[in-house]
Structure 1
Amino acid sequence: MDVDAAGRTRPPELPSTIFLALADEFFDSKGDPVSFYMRKKRNTQDDPFDELVRRVLVDRLAHDDGLLVAESGKLTSPDAVVARRDEYDLLLQGGADFDTRAICGVEVKKLELKKNGKKVSRAAGMDFNSTPPCATVRVYSAAGAPLRIPCYYVFALLVQLEEADEEDIWEVRALVMTAGSALNTDQKLYDDVTGIRTKSIGLGSYGDGADRERPMLLFANPLGWDWTLRSATLISDRDDLAAEHPLTHVRDITRSTVSEAEARFHCYRLSSLNPPKEDTVADPFPSPHSRSTKTTPRGKFVVKVDKIRTAIQPPLG
C-alpha cells in the first residue's frame, strides 16, 4: 500500500477498483465473456449499456465498498463519477488537486464487430461526439463550482447472442479501460470545445435558420489494437498498480505526440489469469493512413436511370 508524507496509508486508486468490478461482471474466472440480458434501445438518445455499467458500479462499489457513485443524465459527459467520500469531502474543503485515489470520471464507449464478424468497427478512430477525451474533465459541485477531475474511458466490444421481445442476450467480447491521458492531454482543446461557443443565426431567406456549428470529434479506439481483443485490459499512466491490486503489469505502450515527444503507459490484466509479460509496443492504436481536411458531401442523391419507376410500371410482387 502507498503511504503519504506523514506515513499514513493511502487508499487504493479508484480506476483499478472500477476496472476489477467491470472485469468481474463481464468475464468469468477463466477470462471468458459472461452473457447477460440487456433491454432494447428505446430511442436515439437512449443507451441501455451505459445504464447497465452505471448499475454495476452502484451495486458493486456504492453498496459493497461504500463509494459515492454519481450518475449523469442523457447527453452528459462523463457517464458517471466515482468518489471516496472522506477524501472527496476533504478535497472540496481544502481545494487540493483531485487525484485518482479520491475521485474519477467514467465515460463508456461501445463498439460492435463488422459484418464479417472478425474486425472491430471504427477501429481507426471512433466518434466522441461533441466532447473530446481528455486526461481530466470538468464536472460541477452541488453548489455549482467547477471541478476538474481525472477521467478514465471504458471501451466495450459488444456482441449480440440472441434477440427477444424486450431483452436481448449480449456479451462483452473485449474490454479496455484506459486513462484519458492515453487518448489526449490537450486540456485547452477540451475546454474550448466544451465551453460556450458561438453559432450562426438568422440564416436562410426568412431568417429563421440557425447553424449550431456543433463539433463532431474522432479520436483513437484502443479496441482497434488486436492485442486487446477477447480480454479485459487496464491502461494506466501508473506503473505500480500491481502492488495494491490483483493485477499483473503485462506490458508498456508508447504514443508519439505531435511535438515528437514520447508518452508511456502501462497495461495490466487480471493476475488470476496468469497473463504473460510482453514487449513494449510503440503507437499500437490504429489511425487512418490519410485524413483530409475536407468533409465529404452529405446526402448526395445520385439519380440512376435503372432505378427510376413510373406510374405505368406494375407494382413489385
Structure 2
Amino acid sequence: MSTAGSTRAPELPSTTFLALVEEFFDKQGKPVSFYMRKKRNTQDDPFDEHVIKVLGERLGEDKGLLVVPSTGKLISPDAVVARPEEYDLLLKGGADFDTRAICGIEVKKLELEKRTGSKGKKSSRRAGMDYNSTPPCATVRVYSASGTPLRIPCYYVFSLLVETDKEDHWETQALVMVAGSVLNSDEDLYDEITGIRSKAIGLGSYGDGANRERPMLVFANPLGWDWVIGSATIISDRDDLESEHPLTRVRDITRTTVNGVESRFYCYRLSDLNPPVEDTVDDPFPTPKRRSTQTSQRGKFVVKLGEIKTSQMPLG
C-alpha cells in the first residue's frame, strides 16, 4: 500500500493519532494530566466525549477537517473524521472510500484508579476487551444525510488511564491506535451482528416477556501487549507513514487468521523519541488460555443455612 512520493494530502488516521499524542503527551513523551468529569450513568462515557472534543478542536480548526460525533449513545463509531474536498470527490465518483478522505474513530479505554502504587501495572482484561454489541472491523457502516449507507475504514483508539492525586484529573499511561483490520477483517460478521436481528417475544406465564438476545462481543485488547504500555503507538496496515508524518516504523507485527493466513502490520511512534528497534512479533495480543462455549450460570445465590447466625436472620 505504498504511496511514497505522493503529493496527496496525508491520510487521516495518522493525522488523528498525532493530534491525540500532542494532547495527551508532552514533547518528551511524558503523560500530561487532563481533567475528565465524573461518569453520570452506565451509558455515559466522559473520556469518549473528551477525545472527540479534542479532535474537533485540533483537527477542525488547525487542519480544516470535519470531525462529526455520533448522534447518540451506543452508536458506533464514536466519530467520523473527513476531508471535505476528497470526500465530495469520492462520493461523486463512486470510488471506494479510503483513509485520505474519511475514517471512523472508535474510542476504548481502561482505567487504573490511582497512580500511587500502580506505576507499570498491567491493564485489566488483558486477554480480551468488551466491544458491546458491535464487533471491531476493518470497515464500518455509516449513513449519508440522505440515508445512503457508506462503508468506511475504521481505526480504534485504546487508552490506559491512570487517576492522579488531583481530583478528576487523569494521565494516559498508554495510547495505541490500531487499524480495524488488526482486530478483525470479517465484514460478513460485522454485517450479520449489526444488521436487523430477531428477538424472542411472548415469554413467561403471561406472555409479556421478551428476550432481546443482544450480542456482547469480546475481541483482542491491544493494551494487553506489554510493549505498548508507557508510550503512544499507531499500528497501521500501511508501510509508508514515514513519508507523510514525523513517525518512525519501530516494529512489525503479524496476525494469523483461523485459516492460517498471515497478515503484516506496522507499528509507528514519534520519530524524535523512538528510533527503529525491534524484530517482528507474531500475534502479540494476549488470548484466553481457557475459553468455553458455555456462559457462566447467572444469578446463582448460595445460602448455607447451617452457618447463618440468629443475629443475621431478618426481623419479623
SS of the aligned residue for 1:294 comes to coil
Where does residue 285 of structure 1 map in the other structure?
285
Where does residue 46 of structure 1 map in the other structure?
44
Structure 2 unaligned runs (5+)? Answer: none
Where does residue 98 of structure 1 map in the other structure?
97
Amino acid in structure 2 at the alignment position of 1:42: R
**Partner Cα distance (1:312, 1:303) in 2:** 12
Instruction: State the identity as a percent.
Output: 73
Shift of 1:226: 0.2
Are the counterparts in 1 of residues 112 and 163 from structure 2 also a CA contact under 8 Å?
no
Q: How does 1:53-68 map to 2 (within 5 A)?
A: 53-68=51-66
Residue number among 162, 168, 173 corresponding to 2:165 in the alignment:
162
SS of the aligned residue for 1:272 comes to coil
Q: Which moved more, 1:169-178 or 1:267-276?
A: 267-276
Where does residue 210 of structure 2 map in the other structure?
210
SS of the aligned residue for 1:88 comes to helix
Is residue 130 from structure 1 mapped to residue 130 from structure 2 by the alignment?
no
Provide closer, same or farther for how the CA distance between residues 200 and 279 of structure 1 changes in structure 2, counting only shifts above 3 A: same
**Partner Cα distance (1:208, 1:296) in 2:** 26
SS of the aligned residue for 1:177 comes to strand
Shift of 1:171: 0.7
Tell me the alpha carbon deviations over residues 56-91 of structure 1, each in whole angstroms, 9 at most, x when there is no partner: 000000111110110012111000000000011111
Amino acid in structure 1 at the alignment position of 2:65: L
Are the counterparts in 1 of residues 12 and 102 from structure 2 also a CA contact under 8 Å?
yes
**Partner Cα distance (1:163, 1:3) in 2:** 45
Amino acid in structure 2 at the alignment position of 1:196: I
| RMSD of equivalent CA atoms | 2.1
Shift of 1:305: 3.8
**Partner Cα distance (1:242, 1:101) in 2:** 15
How many residues are paired up?
309
**Partner Cα distance (2:246, 2:11) in 1:** 13
Are the counterparts in 1 of residues 158 and 222 from structure 2 also a CA contact under 8 Å?
yes
Is residue 30 from structure 1 mapped to residue 28 from structure 2 by the alignment?
yes
SS of the aligned residue for 1:74 comes to coil
Where does residue 85 of structure 2 map in the other structure?
86
Tell me the alpha carbon deviations over residues 154-182 of structure 1, each in whole angstroms, 9 at most, x when there is no partner: 00001111364xxx011111000000000
**Partner Cα distance (2:309, 2:205) in 1:** 34
**Partner Cα distance (1:313, 1:259) in 2:** 58
Where does residue 231 of structure 1 map in the other structure?
231
Shift of 1:311: 6.0
Tell me the alpha carbon deviations over residues 69-122 of structure 1, each in whole angstroms, 9 at most, x when there is no partner: 100121110000000000111111121100000001000001124998312111
Amino acid in structure 1 at the alignment position of 2:160: L
Are the counterparts in 2 of residues 98 and 150 from structure 1 also a CA contact under 8 Å?
yes
Structure 1 unaligned runs (5+)? Answer: none
Is residue 219 from structure 1 mapped to residue 222 from structure 2 by the alignment?
no
Residue number among 144, 148, 151 corresponding to 1:145 in the alignment:
148
Are the counterparts in 2 of residues 201 and 210 from structure 1 also a CA contact under 8 Å?
yes
Provide closer, same or farther for how the CA distance between residues 313 and 204 of structure 1 changes in structure 2, counting only shifts above 3 A: closer
Amino acid in structure 2 at the alignment position of 1:193: I
Where does residue 249 of structure 1 map in the other structure?
249
Is residue 272 from structure 1 mapped to residue 249 from structure 2 by the alignment?
no
**Partner Cα distance (2:26, 2:148) in 1:** 41
SS of the aligned residue for 1:198 comes to coil
Are the counterparts in 2 of residues 3 and 9 from structure 1 also a CA contact under 8 Å?
no
**Partner Cα distance (2:196, 2:109) in 1:** 28
SS of the aligned residue for 1:156 comes to strand
Shift of 1:299: 1.9
Are the counterparts in 1 of residues 113 and 162 from structure 2 also a CA contact under 8 Å?
no
Are the counterparts in 2 of residues 114 and 121 from structure 1 also a CA contact under 8 Å?
no
Are the counterparts in 1 of residues 126 and 286 from structure 2 also a CA contact under 8 Å?
yes
